[in-house]
Amino acid sequence: MRNHRARMGVAVICLAIVAMLAAACGTSSSSTVRTTSASQKVSGAVVVFAAASLKDAFDQIGKQFEQANQGVSVKFNYAGSSSLATQIKQAAPADVFASADTTNMDTVTNDNLASGPKNFASNTLEIMVGAGNPKHIKSVSDLANSDVKVAVCASDVPCGKYTQEVFKKAGVTVHPVSEETSVSSVVTKVTLGEADAGVVYTTDVKAGGDKISGVTIPANQNVTAEYPIVALKDAPNKDGATAFINYVLGPAGQKVLQSFGFKPAGK
Amino acid sequence: MSRSGQRFNPVISGLAAIAALFFILPLTGLVIRAPWSSMTKTITSSGSLDALWLTLIASLATTALALIFGFPLAWLLARVQFRGKALVRGLTTLPMVLPPVVGGIALLLAYGRRGLVGEPLYSAVGFSLPFTTPGVIVAESFVAMPFFVITLESGLSSMNTRLEDAARSLGASRLTVFRRVTLPLIAPSLLAGTVLAWSRAVGEFGATITFAGNLPGVTQTAPLAIYISQSSGKIDEAIALSLVLVVVSLAVMIGTRNRSRSA
């Protein structure tokens, strides 16, 4: 008798929870159903997953895009491109993916989560050092000196992969003190003075202002990072995604990107 | 009144079952998705072994530091009356509620190469904590030691001090009282605090990656290795390492729970 009552109790609670979950699902799915009007008018939130190195430029583009399209809000998720690709594969509700390399973009398109990415900008690498270059670093090979603390990106994130290419082209073996998870963490370590030097994007040096200095990597040792962007197949806001990408590829978006030190896309 | 006579309440049991399931299901997910066929190979790869070894060393060192420095602090908070005690208690246990990343930044500003204490240290001996294994231990101690201090403090405060007084009045020395009366009485909270601090140290991520950075073999503990693996699409590696941590922590938790109950 008691056992029976206990079972009933559990069943009632389970039912209640299932009902709550169902209700929650119901409301969320009905809110994502959008009226896809024939006109180009976009609305709602556009969720953009973007590489950490794009933060300053995309924040600016986002603001301008919102001003140009009343009623639209852009929400950014900045992280290392590989983290973002993993999140997208685990069905994160993103509309747009902007990667700092083609490899991570490929893992998303290969999983059939998006197709036809377009390159919208390119970047090169530069050595970031403390303001005034206290360790007198002049070249990539100086990074191999044992008294220079070098922070790099982990080789799994695009900036880390590019960094390894640069080291290879320059023919040096560098023993970094840390392999950071995104280029922004490398910037932090150099800005705080914990690391003497870091290999980052040219745009990061430009954004760093007078707290840091940059050492140019010659073209024959440098790499060109192409940034591709794509609308995701399962984008909750497809119109918004397309409009945002067009804005980035258009003259206004390109102007902002170049003001932050990005170069035009290679092809 | 007796425990066995507690009436079975279906509502409480139902809610409790949901709470238990809530914790059990994610672990089940890990077990089901684990790459069993390549498990040993993944775990015994040099990268994983380095990370696990470092996790073990750093967490044990953290626990030792918690005992050496945390015990006196807990004693002070529990037994000695002084002005500003509430503030000291609040400040030293703050890391328990602080996001670990905040702890990491604060550590950089204090013990980093340009930090409050770190800068004079660096100019004096040319050593700085970030990017070193001692740096990992410092980060873990910052986050884990408060768990030890607060657990031990509550054990010390709830203890009946009249037993100590009685022992003293019967002629026992301070040391004997501590060894024969105090220590046995606080043993359960001492053990619980030690295990809590150790397990918190094993799982530490935010303060470690912010303060000590991420370098395989030097500062990359298992949680960092897991994060790097999962964010670079190597989910199998991440799951395999996670399972090791789960199994070890679970064994320690269950083992010490039984002990502290019988103590």
- B114 and B2 both lie in a single domain: no
Average pLDDT over residues A182-210: 92
Residue A181: which of B130, B215, B231 has the nearest Cβ? B231
In order, the DSSP letters of chain B are --GGGPPP-HHHHHHHHHHHHHHHHHHHHHHHHS-GGGHHHHHTSHHHHHHHHHHHHHHHHHHHHIIIIIHHHHHHHHH---TTHHHHHHHHHGGGTS-HHHHHHHHHHHHSTTSTTHHHHHHHHS--STTSHHHHHHHHHHHHHHHHHHHHHHHHHHS-THHHHHHHHTT--HHHHIIIIIHHHHHHHHHHHHHHHHHHHHH--HHHHHHT---TTTT--HHHHHHHHHHTT-HHHHHHHHHHHHHHHHHHHHHHHHHHHH-
What average pLDDT does the structure give for chain A? 86
Q: Is the pLDDT of residue B110 over 70?
A: yes
Can you give the length of chain B in residues?
Answer: 263
Distance (Å) from the alpha carbon of B166 to chain A's nearest alpha carbon: 51
Q: What is the pLDDT of residue A89?
A: 87
How many CB atoms within 10 Å of residue B200?
23
Contacts of A91 in chain B (CB under 8 A): none
**Single-letter residue type at B92:** T
Q: What is the pLDDT of residue B262?
A: 52
Tens of pLDDT, residue by residue over B125-166, are 989 999 999 999 999 999 999 999 999 999 999 988 899 999
Q: Does A22 touch chain B (CB under 8 A)?
A: no
Q: Residues of B at the A interface (Cβ-Cβ below 8 Å)? A: 8, 10-11, 13-15, 17-18, 108, 112-114, 128, 130-131, 209, 212-216, 219-220, 227-228, 230-233, 235
Question: B131 and A177: CB-CB below 8 Å?
Answer: yes
Instruction: Say which residues have a Cβ less than 8 Å from residue B144's Cβ, sequence separation at least 6.
Output: B59, B62, B63, B66, B196, B197, B198, B200, B201, B204
- B101 and B217 both lie in a single domain: yes
Q: Closest by alpha carbon to B128, among B116, B119, B139?
A: B119
Beta strand A178-180 with A44-51: parallel, antiparallel or unpaired?
unpaired
A47 — alpha (psi -120 to 50), left (phi > 0) or beta?
Answer: beta
Average pLDDT over residues B234-261: 85
* Chain B nearest-CA residue for A130: B114
What average pLDDT does the structure give for chain B? 91
Q: What is the pLDDT of residue B5?
A: 63
- B95 and B139 both lie in a single domain: yes
Question: B13 and A6: CB-CB below 8 Å?
Answer: yes
* A44-122+226-259 fold: D-Maltodextrin-Binding Protein; domain 2 (3.40.190)
The C-alpha atoms of residue A156 and residue A182 are separated, in whole angstroms, by 10
- Name the least confident of A245-254, B217-226, B230-239: B230-239
- B113 and B185 both lie in a single domain: yes
Beta strand A96-98 with A150-153: parallel, antiparallel or unpaired?
unpaired
Average pLDDT over residues B76-82: 93
Question: B227 and A181: CB-CB below 8 Å?
Answer: yes
CA torsion sign, B108 to B114 to B120 to B126? Answer: positive
- Helices A55-68 and A238-249: crossing angle, nearest 10°? 110
- B8 and B116 both lie in a single domain: no
Average pLDDT over residues B15-30: 95
How many CB atoms within 10 Å of residue B152?
28
The two tokens of residue A223 are 């790499």
- B111 and B234 both lie in a single domain: yes
Residue A192: which of B112, B209, B214 has the nearest Cβ? B112
The C-alpha atoms of residue B205 and residue B220 are separated, in whole angstroms, by 10
Q: Does A89 touch chain B (CB under 8 A)?
A: yes
Q: Is the pLDDT of residue A20 over 80?
A: no
Q: What is the ipTM of this complex?
A: 0.76
Q: What is the pLDDT of residue A80?
A: 84
Read off the pLDDT band of A264 (50, 70, 90): very high
Overall number of domains in chain B: 2
Domain hosting residue B16, numbered range: 1-33
* Chain A nearest-CA residue for B232: A82
Q: Does A193 touch chain B (CB under 8 A)?
A: yes
CB A48 within 8 A of CB A98: yes
Tens of pLDDT, residue by residue over A213-252, are 999 999 999 999 999 999 999 999 999 999 999 999 999 9
Q: What is the pLDDT of residue B229?
A: 86
Contacts of A7 in chain B (CB under 8 A): 10
Domain residue limits, chain A: 44-122+226-259, 125-216
Read off the pLDDT band of A86 (50, 70, 90): confident
Class of the CATH-defined domain A125-216: alpha beta
Tell me how far the alpha carbon of residue A108 is from its chain's centroid: 14
Contacts of A149 in chain B (CB under 8 A): 131
- B123 and B23 both lie in a single domain: no
A125-216 and A44-122+226-259 share a CATH fold: yes
Tens of pLDDT, residue by residue over B51-69, are 999 999 999 999 999 999 9
CA torsion sign, A38 to A44 to A49 to A51? Answer: positive
pTM above 0.90, yes or no: no
Compute the CA torsion angle A104, A190, A170, A204 (nearest 10 deg). Answer: 50
Q: Closest by alpha carbon to B201, among B150, B254, B141?
A: B141
Query: CATH code at B242?
Result: 1.10.3720.10
* Chain B nearest-CA residue for A9: B10
Contacts of B213 in chain A (CB under 8 A): 151, 177-180, 189, 194
Q: What is the pLDDT of residue B38?
A: 87
How many CB atoms within 10 Å of residue A107?
19
Q: What is the pLDDT of residue B255?
A: 86
Question: B214 and A86: CB-CB below 8 Å?
Answer: no
* Chain A nearest-CA residue for B210: A185
Q: What is the pLDDT of residue A243?
A: 95
Residue B214: which of A149, A178, A193 has the nearest Cβ? A178
Residue B214: which of A82, A154, A194 has the nearest Cβ? A154
Question: B232 and A2: CB-CB below 8 Å?
Answer: no
* Chain A nearest-CA residue for B128: A194
The two tokens of residue A79 are 């992280």
The CA–CA distances, whole Å, from B180 to B157, B163, B164 equal 18, 11, 9
Q: What is the pLDDT of residue B45?
A: 85
Q: Does A102 touch chain B (CB under 8 A)?
A: no
CA torsion sign, B162 to B168 to B171 to B175? Answer: positive
Q: Closest by alpha carbon to A229, among A104, A74, A117?
A: A117
* For chain B, percent of residues with pLDDT exceeding 70: 96
The C-alpha atoms of residue B135 and residue B133 are separated, in whole angstroms, by 5
- B115 and B213 both lie in a single domain: yes
Average pLDDT over residues A89-95: 88
Q: Does A16 touch chain B (CB under 8 A)?
A: no
CA torsion sign, B226 to B227 to B229 to B233? Answer: positive
- B173 and B247 both lie in a single domain: yes
- B60 and B180 both lie in a single domain: yes
Read off the pLDDT band of B44 (50, 70, 90): confident
